[in-house]
Amino acid sequence: MDERSERTAGTAGAFAGGGRTDPATEAFVTHRNLLFTVAYEMLGSAADAEDVLQETWLRWSGVDLDTVEDRRAYLVRIATRQALTRLRTLGRRRESYVGPWLPEPLLTTPDVAEDVELADSVSMAMLLVLETLAPAERAVFVLREVFDVGYDEIADAVGKSPAAVRQIAHRARAHVAARRPRDVVSAAETRDALQAFQRAVETGELQSLLDVLAPDVVALSDGGGVKRAVPRPVVGAGKVARLLAAGLHRFGAEVSVEPVQVNGCPGLLMRIDGEIDGVVAMRVEGGLVTELYFVRNPDKLSRVERETALSR
């Protein structure tokens, strides 16, 4: 458990001694995974989602529970408001980010992959689509399309009328539909593409990778200004293959790869000399890789050392 997770758990505090259960703490712990998932989908950052949970608990702990009809809905409302505030701040911060920004990858539990809708909603590809939405649009889309929250409840969470929320939801839905993959891709298709990538890394033979790259494939790498990464997107199968070849030449036999579940989808964990160096995820359409994501920023890799539980 990282520092933020420990702080949130500690603030929610184990239940009071002597076997007495604190109802506020019990409700928060019961819905913690849900609240984290809501915040993470809105922010694309586990670290910031943990901060939202901390802020949510601080506000929740001061609520008179006798006035709360639906504790789950109330907690989601608090978390959404905190995430919206943070999302607006992050937008300004990301304008000065060094190189392409990618979501913070999560090593997820098997049940996330089994929930196809949840896995799709937290995939790297979808989180990047959500990044193109305005903050209110992102909040409405996530709450409505992923968590099936009612329009009235969403209106309370985002501070708008139910009619306005319906219009925002319609606009966000159309925006996402125009940018998300058109076909449902099976986990097996993604694994096939990742296996080709893995063979290329392990053998230096790039042809197997070229065979599964779309002609207009786009590769994005996020080093956060700390680790070496390509400063802008690389487009085209030939250029992406040459980029990979250069990386393999640089690190040689020191590189090893391990298949893992990243954000509910098959991914690869890369190590150099046994130390975690990065995560590889993909967007696959029609059996071909259309987008390739490399996350090397060390600040974004703490969640790939252990599984993160997500829920709807």
Q: What pLDDT score does 169 carry?
A: 97
Least confident of 17-21, 41-45, 177-181, 288-292: 17-21
In angstroms, rounded to a whole number, what is the distance separating the alpha carbons of residues 254 and 243? 17
Cβ neighbors of 300 (< 8 A, separation 6 or more) are 45, 102, 104, 105, 222, 224
Q: What pLDDT score does 183 carry?
A: 67
pLDDT of 127 higher than 90 = yes
% of the chain surpassing 90 pLDDT: 64
Most confident residue range from 85-99, 197-211, 222-236: 222-236
Q: What pLDDT score does 6 carry?
A: 56
Q: What pLDDT score does 39 carry?
A: 98
Choice between 25 and 189, residue whose per-residue pLDDT is larger: 25
Mean pLDDT of 112-120: 92
Q: What pLDDT score does 253 carry?
A: 62
In angstroms, rounded to a whole number, what is the distance separating the alpha carbons of residues 100 and 224? 8
Q: What pLDDT score does 1 carry?
A: 54
pLDDT of 16 higher than 50 = no
Q: What pLDDT score does 240 carry?
A: 92
Choice between 6 and 53, residue whose per-residue pLDDT is larger: 53
Q: Where are the alpha helices (DSSP H) in the chain?
A: 3-12, 23-30, 32-43, 46-60, 71-94, 110-114, 116-122, 124-130, 135-141, 151-158, 162-179, 187-203, 207-210, 237-251
pLDDT band at residue 147 using 50, 70 and 90 as cut-offs: very high
Give residue-wise pLDDT tens across range 218-268. Answer: 999 999 999 989 889 999 999 998 888 887 777 666 788 899 999 998 899
pLDDT of 271 higher than 70 = yes
Q: What pLDDT score does 84 carry?
A: 95
Q: What pLDDT score does 15 carry?
A: 37
- Arithmetic mean of pLDDT over the chain: 88
% of the chain surpassing 70 pLDDT: 91
Least confident of 92-96, 131-135, 177-181: 92-96
Choice between 211 and 142, residue whose per-residue pLDDT is larger: 142
Mean pLDDT of 194-216: 84
Backbone CA torsion sign across 200, 206, 210, 216:
positive
In angstroms, rounded to a whole number, what is the distance separating the alpha carbons of residues 197 and 123? 19
Give residue-wise pLDDT tens across range 32-77. Answer: 999 999 999 999 999 999 999 999 999 999 999 999 999 999 999 9
Cβ neighbors of 52 (< 8 A, separation 6 or more) are 35, 39, 43, 79, 82, 83, 86
pLDDT band at residue 14 using 50, 70 and 90 as cut-offs: very low
Parallel, antiparallel or unpaired: strands 307-308 and 107-108: parallel
